Chain A
């Protein structure tokens, strides 16, 4: 690219022929590079400005709260009592519920599309998964609020009745022996929000996994079959080991996406600023729904506090995303794929 044919002196008087010649650019190329570099700079300035502004405003609040920012559960910025202990763990709980529901579905669907589905429906199925990722989150939220919430109470009550000896399934205030007990203790919970978020993140996870599975080398697949493996034997010994990086990477990417989900969570949960490990019980909070909830009626310090919470979430997502892309890039299947 750098070698131009119209360089007579370089060709005729080249004392050292092997030395790379400096590129001579025309005016057009210089202008082109200038414009394109300006575009790159502009993007850097915009994204950098967001990051710097976010950090700067967050520092105002962090200076007030100090180290207590990490341990405080309440959110009362004007009383100088605020922290991310409840909101960030709430986000993480919702994302974890979402991941544990979405992973089996995504893995099964990805394996189905890449290994079982006949070739003629494969493209349609892939499109459907992509479409699922493009459905607006408010639509999922709407579905969760008006359909799923009321229909999942039975499941929640069953889990609470039989598995309450596991701390996360315990519901305080519920009385399983009383058939007329109020069902409202099971609504607006982390569990319901998590399942709605699961529907949103599942397609991302699924498409990363499917992409990686479809790259499993045909030679090794045929080798497994030739040694007498059944289809599942082949999947277990060739496809799954090959795609391990994609499975882990896709799951973490989806986790990052689930942490930032706002509207669906906002619509479903009822805010509770306390660490609530009982996922079936009413009351939860997440960073992004906190921001949507409190941005309008906040003082300057309140906004700073929201920025601090946003920054904490951003850093967490960033760590997860970079870990995911590193895992994918260093896995055997990640050499060609872009995640």
Chain B
């Protein structure tokens, strides 16, 4: 007797592919549609889990593309404190697919949110779509507006120059301005602004909306960058809270399910352009018996991130050496600062030579 399951590969069998291997050996990637080489400019965006991917790509020697690096004189820790180099541009977390679409629209001048700025009690200003991007708020409205223009120019450059775009889908729940449909990354009132129940509406995106958002986003990026390729992942980080009147575990499962299905539909729709990378499965899989979550059951451990990135490097990257110059390191910044200090010292010392001459003449001492 024969049947379709008789000759299927081992990876199709749970016992062989999940239950029996040692947990670090589980590799759910089969036949990724393309490879990422060390010369490829890889941009990232998405939810907080995407920051792990960004951080590891940076450290791996691959060409992590940062279109908005801040200033090279800022050491890495300083730059990150101001949310530079955390993602490929300074957009902070993009939790929903609708935010990605609207970011593209804003970058190309097609959307100007009515919620233009929020004023903080200390008189400073925040960008409602990036409320924590500037640690203490922008010092003036002019500063916020100029920074936003520069940021959106960087976003355009990012989309137009990247080779690979890694997008980590995080949430389906969001708060929306019901006047113009702008999706906020954080509920107004939490990190600035005032919550207005008549204007700020809760929305839980459904599968159709998420799929359509991804189609639109990919289409828009391909329109300005026809050779771009996409890697979709789903963040395994559970919701910190749900605005639905139900258990957060139920809401989390719904959100992650929608996002996971959407990724599958889009990967099938663009089989050569879009690859789904199973970070979610690696972290959530029962094979690791919960090892990849910290005691809060939300934060992903470094061991989990390492497993994800090891599989990424083994299966998605070409594994070649990176011949590009590495990004500025702390030593480079310190060297640059030392050169500036030395330049200043030398210039200032010359000023003192004349003083010394005059002083010696005045006092008759030499």
- Chains A and B come from one and the same complex: no
Which of B's residues lie within 8 Å of A, judged by CB? none
Which of A's residues lie within 8 Å of B, judged by CB? none
